[in-house]
Amino acid sequence: MNLNEILHNELLDLPKNRNGKWFPDFVESILFQYMELTKDIECPQSKLSSKEIHDSITKLCLAINSSVKSYFVGHPYEAYESIAKLLGKTNSKEDYCNKILKFHMLDKSQPLYRIRVAEPNESFSRYDMFHVPFELREKHVKTQRYSIPGLPCLYLSNSIYVTWAELDKPDMSRIHASMLVPSERNNCILIDIAHPNEIRKVYGENSYHLDLLDYIITWPLVFACSITTEEKNNNFKPEYIIPQILLQYVRRNENIHGIKYFSNSINYNEQNIGEFYNIAIPVVELKEKGHCNLLKGAFYMTESISMQKIDAALGGQLTLDKANANYNVNVKEIEIIKEKPFPYKYSRFHDIEKHLFLSKATSINF
């Protein structure tokens, strides 16, 4: 089976919902189907043989399955080791090409965004818009998909639209947003498990892209990290097992700094065209108060703005010289109204990004 046939098989559609199935059985079933799907994989353009490619896929599937079962019987250390032993320890950037994982160097030209939801007449300083400060970790750092309880992380998205969807689509008049831009000192290496949504849609039978073979090899990990949460209010969410293990792997490898992952909150079956991803970068320092100095030095940051303030200042008018400019080339169309996709640059999300882009991102020195 060639790459095109595998990539367009419905089994690869993500994210998946277990629909009430017992989590270990659900994961095992999907991974077994994937091993069967790829057992006769054909990729003559690759230096790897079909057997080598499938062996890598099989080892990853078995490691994930073993990890989930170990966690469920109360052996979290063995659950971590099942994944960590397979992935190995990265000692240098040159090691990356020999690993199952795909890596991404944070693009210094790519603006990233954070939002918070405010109460009426509430405002947020830059201090409030960065990661949860250390003095509030016991109160506010709860378990999330890519976080360890009590360990602050800097969460960023490549568009305001993604951040809005991640926060369950709050009232637009209540959101406050800041833009962060990687600084010259930013050399963040991220594990890349983002969904190549746009490339997968246009990939043709006679075309080849090495990134897509990488995606096929790492797909079991992408799947295991993107299962939708069935019960959001439950204290234990098994869907978080593998993502949190992956974050532990990041913390134990000094040459890896975070994870780039696609948003589960975007419906990829709708006419959303573009890249929709998040980044999670855990803090590095151990401090009683404040924020991680290494993360502060890695970014420039704007003051926060809100749609309410923009409307109050402009009365709905467009800025004069750059009203039609496109400030986010990664997101092309979004479907907010069912079956009526519109260019992203017409949206209120893009309006906020435009005003942030025209603001000044400065060094973080609080």
What is the predicted pLDDT for the residue at 99? 59
| Alpha-carbon span 291 to 285, nearest angstrom | 9
Q: Is the pLDDT of residue 208 over 70?
A: no
Any bridge partners for residue 22, and if so which?
Answer: none
The confidence band for 199, taking pLDDT boundaries of 50, 70 and 90, is low
| Alpha-carbon span 242 to 145, nearest angstrom | 9
The answer to pTM > 0.95 is no
188's tokens:
């963040």
The confidence band for 267, taking pLDDT boundaries of 50, 70 and 90, is confident
3-state secondary structure of 334: strand
Contact (Cβ atoms closer than 8 angstroms) between residue 235 and residue 65: no
Q: Quote the mean pLDDT of the chain.
A: 88
342's tokens:
């519109």
What is the predicted pLDDT for the residue at 65? 98
| Alpha-carbon span 260 to 194, nearest angstrom | 6
Burial 223-249 (b: 16+ CB within 10 A, else e): bbbbbebbeeeeeebbbbbbbbbbbbb
**Mean pLDDT in residue range 111-122:** 91
Radius of gyration of the chain (CA): 21
Q: Is the pLDDT of residue 281 over 50?
A: yes
What is the predicted pLDDT for the residue at 223? 95
CA distances from 222 to 80, 219, 304 (A): 16, 5, 32
Is the C-alpha dihedral spanning 261, 264, 267, 272 positive or negative? negative
What is the predicted pLDDT for the residue at 248? 94
Dihedral in degrees, nearest 10, Cα atoms 14, 228, 85, 88:
60
Closest of 181, 186, 184, 155 to residue 301, by C-alpha: 181
Burial 126-138 (b: 16+ CB within 10 A, else e): bebbbbbbbeebe
Closest of 78, 58, 84, 17 to residue 238, by C-alpha: 17
Alpha helical stretches, state H, the chain: 3-7, 23-37, 50-72, 76-87, 126-129, 137-140, 160-166, 197-202, 210-224, 241-251, 293-297, 307-314, 348-357
What is the predicted pLDDT for the residue at 329? 86
What is the predicted pLDDT for the residue at 109? 85
Q: What is the pLDDT of residues 88-103, one digit of tens each?
A: 765 544 444 445 788 8
Q: What is the pLDDT of residues 210-224, one digit of tens each?
A: 677 888 999 999 999
59's tokens:
């080892």
3-state secondary structure 236-288: CCHHHHHHHHHHHHHHCCCCCCEEEEECCCCCCCCCCEECCEEEEEECCCCCC
Of residues 156 and 50, the one with the higher pLDDT is 156
Q: What is the pLDDT of residues 293-302, one digit of tens each?
A: 999 999 999 9
What is the predicted pLDDT for the residue at 207? 59
CA distances from 61 to 127, 214, 275, 342 (A): 42, 15, 26, 39
% of the chain surpassing 70 pLDDT:
89
Euclidean distance between the first and final Cα of the chain, in Å?
55
What is the predicted pLDDT for the residue at 319? 55
What is the predicted pLDDT for the residue at 188? 93
What is the predicted pLDDT for the residue at 339? 86
| Alpha-carbon span 301 to 298, nearest angstrom | 10
The confidence band for 320, taking pLDDT boundaries of 50, 70 and 90, is very low
3-state secondary structure of 276: coil
What would you measure as the largest C-alpha separation in the chain, in angstroms? Answer: 63
| Alpha-carbon span 242 to 225, nearest angstrom | 6
Lowest mean pLDDT among 30-44, 188-202, 340-354: 188-202
| Alpha-carbon span 313 to 257, nearest angstrom | 39
**Mean pLDDT in residue range 226-249:** 92
Contact (Cβ atoms closer than 8 angstroms) between residue 256 and residue 191: yes
What is the predicted pLDDT for the residue at 200? 66
